[in-house]
Structure 1
Amino acid sequence: MTTLDGRPVEILLVEDNEGDVRLTREALREGHFCNRLSVVGDGVHALDFLYRRPPYQEAPRPDLILLDLNLPRIDGREVLAEIKSDPSLRRIPVVVLTTSRAEEDLVRTYDLHANCFITKPVDFDQFIQVVKNIENFWFTIVVLPP
């Protein structure tokens, strides 16, 4: 399945843990949607990707961003704040996908207008299922802005 306009679903994963990147790729490969996953490993590259700064001049606009909080260089909270303060980016749904269980992170990310906060399961099968559920929810149930 593709988006309504027939193109693959564009997902930006902002994640510095290679194991979580591999698991996310696997889950999305098993999903129901034709998707193109772009991965960046820190907050600086995330913002460069979104603003199409070198080397990302040809980067697609994501339909969904999966954002870890604990990133090198610029953390996920700062990336989220930048995304949601920019009129050209703020409508892109941002799913915070993190190991944090801290209430202050939960509250802070919602204060910064995250679309949802999900704590990464440590179990392999549960992690795969969570990513599949994210994909299903955001591309089957939710109506996204153009």
Structure 2
Amino acid sequence: MGEIEIYLADDDEDDRLFLKEAINLIIPGTTIIEATDGQNLVDLISFKSGNLTLILVDMNMPRLNGLEAISIIKSQPELKNIPTLMVSTSQDAALRKQAYQLGISTFITKPTTMDGYENIARGIKICFVDQFISGLDSSI
């Protein structure tokens, strides 16, 4: 069975920690690759055939912000179809629209509770992981 890799890009260490804990609780066995900013994400990201690869990215980060990082990633043919979820406190409708135009799959407002982070992990499991595993099972 393919592995599940999630690239988690956020300059806020606490937000990374909460998301990582929630994902590990809801989707055990997931490999989480942490990036501290958009440039770090671009430097780290790769795609391995047979794996489920997802990107969780914050909008406001140093060096390259989330929008700039997504633009670079989505311009690469081998990376452009990786599901990308933007998790941000930004309420700016124009920035959200720009994120969708660049190719994000969904925009999620950063939660303020651990339950909120767990809800994000549940959504990832239902919308992406379960579908990926179901696709693997049907190909056997």
Into which bin does the TM-score normalised by the smaller protein fall?
0.7 to 0.9
TM-score after normalising by structure 2: 0.83
Tell me if 1:121 matches 2:116.
no
Matched, 1:24 2:19: yes
Identity of aligned residues (%): 29
Structure 1 consecutive aligned stretches of length 4 or more whose deviation exceeds 6 Å: none
Give the RMSD, CA atoms, in angstroms.
2.1
User: Which residue identity lines up with residue 9 of structure 1 in the other structure?
Assistant: I
Change (3 A) 1:109 1:7: same
CA drift at 1:99? 1.1
TM-aligned CA deviation for residue 120 of structure 1 = 1.0
Q: Name the structure with the higher helix share.
A: 2
| Contact preservation (8 Å) 1:31, 1:135 | yes
Deviation (angstroms), 1:50? 1.9
SS at match of 2:5: strand
TM-score (ref. length: structure 1): 0.80
- Give the whole-Å Cα distance in 1 for the aligned partners of 2:15 and 2:122: 14
**Structure 2 residues not aligned, in runs of 5+:** 136-140
Count of aligned pairs between the two proteins? 131
Q: Call closer, same or farther: CA 1:17–1:62 in 2, change over 3 Å.
A: farther
Matched residue, 2:5? 10
